[in-house]
Copies of this chain bind each other. A is one copy, B any other.
Amino acid sequence: MVSKYPRSVRGCLPLWTLMLQAALIVIFFFFASYDSFIEYPEKVVTQGAVLQDMVVMAALGLGFLSSSLWRYSWSSVAFNLFMLALGVQWAVLLDGFLENPALEKVFIKLSRIQQATMTAMSVLISAGAILGKANLAQLVLLVLMEVTAFSATRMISQQFLSADAHVSMMHIHVFAAYFGLTVAWCLSRPLPREAEEKDQRKTSPSLFAMLGTLFLWMFWPSFNSALLSIPDERKNGVFNTYYALAVSAVTAISLSALAHPQGKISMTHIHNAVLAGGVAVGAPCHLIPSPWLAMVLGLLAGLISIGGAKSMPVCFNRVLGIHDTCGVHYTFGLPGLLGGITYIVYLTSWYKDPLIAFQMLYDIAALSLSLAMGLASGLLTGLILNLKIWKAPHVVKYFDDQAFWEFPHLAVGF
């Protein structure tokens, strides 16, 4: 396809990305330095291992999870790396400024890089919903907007709603899923009937997506326990996540066979529903005192996720006009809501203290805040991304070596 835009306009977008990278370096020059405090060697080892697990989940797991659509498998993995690398830099700065605005310097510690990696994962989750709908420059804006919005949400939760670091981070699934869905709603156009059918068919099931799923499945206990500092809570977090994941894997595979008229298993279901248990158990994982509760959560999450995967595409594609490319809604959104609600219910039923009523209201507010901020900032981002200036032609066909120029009508939308 020969581009209709002059060279200068097209050249501008990646150049703008480079400029942004240079600007980030200048900001780091003025405002960031390494923490001179020497941490205990053992703590460095432990935290280093957790950081590595987070990076594996972000770069490999989330990168390959959405690679099952062969038309976007390249973009999925490469753009995922791009957004992660950019998002971490921005999140480190932002977290530092928000945490202590009085200080003129951001001190970089292992724990801050780890939190920044987790914050940047919100972008990677959202990106699953708009895969193939945005170009490089649009993704840069998405990264900056979403990291800012999620960091702000977490800061508000922690400072005004007395949520702890763990719970405010665990709302990442709800925030990111609804952010992504709102952006996808802004970007999508009603597809012609035949394109939609082709879209359904083109999900060539990929072992690569299974690889991403497995990496997420294996390292999820690390993710859920990363911000828990009390050893006993951490242990409970790991165990409960482990059990919830095991049950949701069994549930997902059984239900997928049950839902199919000929008893076959759909790989798309498995990619998504296997992880639902880990998402759902996220917020309450440190409080659950015995495995059966985590297992029930895993079972419910698997049910919701498979149910969503069967009914959502019809509802979303037809009624709302949202095209959720990778099933972000029923992988992260609904199980995340289930987890948030469980956490609130659990707190209430456990403690009989009247003071708890306040805490419960706070927790409801924190969950609603994540949902509302996800929707609001997603809408804002989607509207900005829909402006004419972004509509460069290199949207659909990024990669040199593959010929996937098939849907000319898709390109019209951008």
On A, residues with C-beta under 8 Å from B are 1, 3, 7, 10-11, 13-15, 17-18, 21-22, 24-26, 28-29, 32-34, 38-39, 41-42, 44-46, 48-49, 52-53, 55-56, 59-60, 63-64, 67, 73-74, 77-79, 81-82, 84-86, 88-89, 108, 110, 113, 136, 203-205, 207-208, 210-211, 214-215, 217-219, 222, 231-232, 234-236, 238-239, 242-243, 245-247, 249-251, 253-255, 257-258, 260-268, 270, 274, 289-292, 295-296, 299, 392-394, 397-402
Given contacts A113-B239, A290-B32, contact A254 B136 (CB under 8 A): yes
A contacts with B: majority SS:
helix
A85 CA / B248 CA spacing, docked (Å): 9
Given contacts A74-B205, A203-B401, A258-B15, contact A289 B246 (CB under 8 A): no
Residue in B211, B232, B399 whose beta carbon sits within 8 Å of that of A38 in the complex: B232
Residue in B10, B245, B402 whose beta carbon sits within 8 Å of that of A262 in the complex: B10
Q: Is the CB of B11 within 8 A of A263?
A: yes
CB distance from A48 to the nearest CB of B (A): 7
A234 CA / B217 CA spacing, docked (Å): 28
Residue in B28, B81, B258, B265 whose beta carbon sits within 8 Å of that of A400 in the complex: B265
A250 CA / B23 CA spacing, docked (Å): 13
Work out how many copies of this chain go into the complex.
3
- For the complex of A and B, the 8 pairs showing the least CB-CB separation, nearest first, are A263-B394, A85-B249, A14-B257, A29-B292, A85-B246, A17-B254, A14-B258, A28-B292
Q: Is the CB of B45 within 8 A of A291?
A: no
Contacts of A219 in B (CB 8 A): 52
Q: Is the CB of A214 within 8 A of B60?
A: yes
Q: Is the CB of B81 within 8 A of A28?
A: no
A307 CA / B49 CA spacing, docked (Å): 35
Q: Is the CB of A218 within 8 A of B110?
A: no
Q: Which residue of B lies closest to A215 (CB)?
A: B60
Q: Which residue of B lies closest to A77 (CB)?
A: B210
**A/B interface sample: 10 pairs, CB < 8 A:** A14-B258, A18-B255, A25-B247, A78-B270, A136-B253, A204-B401, A260-B400, A264-B400, A266-B400, A267-B400
Q: Is the CB of A262 within 8 A of B3?
A: yes
A238 CA / B45 CA spacing, docked (Å): 11
Contacts of A78 in B (CB 8 A): 210, 253, 265, 267, 270
